[in-house]
A and B are shown apart, each in its own frame.
Chain A
Amino acid sequence: MNRTWTIVALLAAALAAGCATKKGFEKPGFAFGCPIGDARVSSMEDLVKLKVVSEGKRTTIAPTEMRCTMTGDLLKIDTNLNNDSSRVKRIAYKFRWMDREGMRAWEEEAWKPLLMYENSNITVSAVSPTNKAVDYRLILMSQE
């Protein structure tokens, strides 16, 4: 009897492992912890494309990774920015927060200047200003 249950449990575990995507067991509508709505996100590249917007002068600084988590009822975002050029780059960034209906959940943030040394990575962190903000965009602009 015990052996039968062990085999059933092992089979269930194997099935679960086989069905698991590379995102792991993630809530529907989320990828890498970040809200994605109905968008199809199958890789980090897709997520970055979905969440990063360029405004004003374009920058060559590329977000390479983005992960989200909840801190209390607020959304916390960590974005890794990469400067792979051999020059110091100056950029500005801000986050834009949206509510469940896709409307602005908060007023426009101030642009924040950022200096990036040549061949360097920086992690930019942000926390949503209110629990009404359930989605976001990272806006980048060159300051060169």
Chain B
Amino acid sequence: MIESSRARLLALLPLLAAVALAAGCATPDKTRYGDAKGIETVTNQFGSTDLQMIAESMTRSMLQAPVIISGNLPIVTVQEVKNKTSEYIDTRAITDSIRAELQKGGKVRFAVDAAAMKQQVEELERQQSVYYDKEEAAQKGKLVGAQYRMEGSITSIVKQVKDVKDVYYKFNLQLWNIRNGLLEWSDEQEIRKTTTKG
């Protein structure tokens, strides 16, 4: 009886050793902060580096447009950047970054855009309610219209063979004069990323 238990234990020994070894080797997940402005190449999908590069190059290019250089603090409204790629890209994040950079530079003013209009109207109506001091409350009919509208698109061409995937992005941004319909400024940024397996 004792002999058979000992034999069974001996048979289990390698398994127990393997389990102990695996437990000893397993490293816990490690989380560290990284450089938010660093180059990200985890996959070849649209990433943070692409967004930052596009926002920066478009902003710097637009700052050289004659309508901005003139120093008249043009009023701009942000319209849609159409995503014509096959992947999901939050194009609003790109235009938000461009708007933040331009606003910080102090050369452009932004009028409320279509996406934020609902909140703007709601707040105006709230201030017009009986709860607010009529003297202090914001009045209806005082919104300032934009002189220019900013719109654009992002397109991609994806090619893949067995071990190689090539992605080409083209981001185009335009600044249109709302009054006369003239295109005042336009620029493009191209990005190519290639991933090779193995």
Residue of A whose beta carbon sits closest to that of B70? A72
Cβ contacts under 8 Å, B53 to chain A: 110, 112
A113 to B105, Cβ gap below 8 A? Answer: no
Range for the number of chain B residues in contact with chain A: 10 to 19
A76 to B35, CA, bound (A): 27
A111 to B63, Cβ gap below 8 A? Answer: no
A124 to B53, CA, bound (A): 14
B120: Cβ under 8 A from any A Cβ: no
A129 to B105, Cβ gap below 8 A? Answer: yes
B106 to A109, Cβ gap below 8 A? Answer: no
Cβ contacts under 8 Å, A111 to chain B: 35, 37-39, 49
B101: Cβ under 8 A from any A Cβ: yes
Instruction: Give the contacting residue for A109; candidates B37, B63, B64; CB below 8 A.
Output: B37
Using an 8 Å CB-CB cutoff, how does the interface string of A33-75 with B read, 1 for contact, 0 for none? 0000000000000000000000000000000000000011010
A112 to B190, CA, bound (A): 13
A127 to B56, Cβ gap below 8 A? Answer: no
A46 to B39, CA, bound (A): 30
B37 to A130, Cβ gap below 8 A? Answer: no
B39 to A143, Cβ gap below 8 A? Answer: yes
A109 to B59, CA, bound (A): 12
B56 to A110, Cβ gap below 8 A? Answer: yes
Give residues 36-77 of B contacting A (CB, 8 Å). Answer: 37-39, 49, 52-53, 56, 59-61, 63-64, 69, 71
**How many whole Å from B158's CB to the nearest CB in chain A?**
19
Cβ contacts under 8 Å, A108 to chain B: 37
Cβ contacts under 8 Å, B63 to chain A: 72, 74, 127, 129
18 A-B pairs (CB sep. < 8 Å): A72-B63, A72-B64, A72-B69, A74-B64, A92-B39, A108-B37, A110-B49, A110-B56, A111-B37, A111-B39, A111-B49, A112-B53, A126-B60, A127-B60, A127-B61, A127-B64, A129-B101, A143-B39
Interface residues of B (CB under 8 A from A): 35, 37-39, 49, 52-53, 56, 59-61, 63-64, 69, 71, 101, 104-106
Interface residues of A (CB under 8 A from B): 71-72, 74, 76, 92, 94, 108-113, 126-127, 129-130, 143
Q: Which 3 A-B pairs have the closest CB atoms?
A: A110-B52, A72-B69, A110-B37
